[in-house]
Amino acid sequence: MIKFLSSFFQSQTSTTINSTEIDQVYKNPDSNILEKVPAEIIVKIMSYLLVNDVNYFGQSCRVYFTLLFGQDLSRLKSIQQIKKSFVWRNMEEILKCNELKKEYEKDELAVMIQTQIWKPLVSYYFPQFVSTLNIKNWMHVLRRRITHLIVHHSSSLPVKKHFPSEPFKEIKTLDDFMTYPRDTVLPLVSFIENCSDWEYECPLKNAKMSFVSQQVNFCHVCKENVYEVRSEDQFIEHVEKGHCVAYGMTGVSIKGKRKFK
């Protein structure tokens, strides 16, 4: 990897990196050639990777680990210690503890990493998550969503690109869901947006809220009504009013080329 990055770096800049410097990486970790590669180039490379590859890339050396995750070894140990103190809680409760929130807030400073790596990954794996939302920490969004799947829908892991990349795109046949076999019942997809504090503590399912009226439920966490929408126009209308919004598709039994209702 080091030689590849050295070659890539030389093709993008006028700086020369010789083989002696590369050899020093193995002999002296404090003289790391990777620190000479501009962060913009590393980010550009990682922007083409999926989440597992990004994870492995970030763990390949301390430079990338700090750049990608905003952490060093001391901070990582601090986060692990916080998690150990909450070992009796489930994963969702751990993510909500105040100590961990303060640590994750530090990630918001890395704007370039957030917008060029984590934000596209959220859109790739969860395409109904609108990319124009005012989110500071996209890495935390991805972490929160995957944690929810681990706790409630482990059969959905590992995450794949199940749905179309454009929100509200009309889905006509089962062929649009390439990862689902025929003669299956597609799951209920429901996604709640516009939560006031972006704390991600509100339930992610309508079934966990109280029924108010048709297409309206009440969230006992943020004490707000959540409006279910079926189109982009409805979504925009409610968001402009400051409402919490849930949108998604209800799957029906499909055989062959039957369409959604």
Secondary structure, 3-state, 14-32: CCCCCHHHHHHHHHCCCCC
Residue 145 has phi, psi (to 5 degrees) of -65, -45
What residue spans define the domains of the chain? 38-152, 165-254
CA distances 36 to 32, 33, 60, 98, 107, Å, are 8, 6, 16, 36, 23
Cβ-proximal residues to 259 (8 Å cutoff; 6+ apart), any chain:
172, 173
Query: Are 96 and 75 spatial neighbours (Cβ–Cβ below 8 Å)?
Result: no
pLDDT value for 182: 41
Rounded CA separation 179/181 (Å): 7
pLDDT value for 92: 57
Cβ-proximal residues to 37 (8 Å cutoff; 6+ apart), any chain:
5, 9
- pLDDT tens string, the chain, 261 residues long: the values are 444 444 433 433 333 434 444 444 444 555 466 667 777 788 888 888 888 888 888 877 777 777 777 666 666 676 666 666 655 555 556 555 655 666 555 554 467 788 888 888 888 887 777 777 777 778 888 887 777 777 777 766 766 654 444 444 443 333 343 443 444 443 444 444 444 334 456 776 777 888 888 889 898 887 889 888 888 788 888 888 888 888 654 432 222 333 332
Query: Are 13 and 42 spatial neighbours (Cβ–Cβ below 8 Å)?
Result: no
pLDDT value for 14: 39
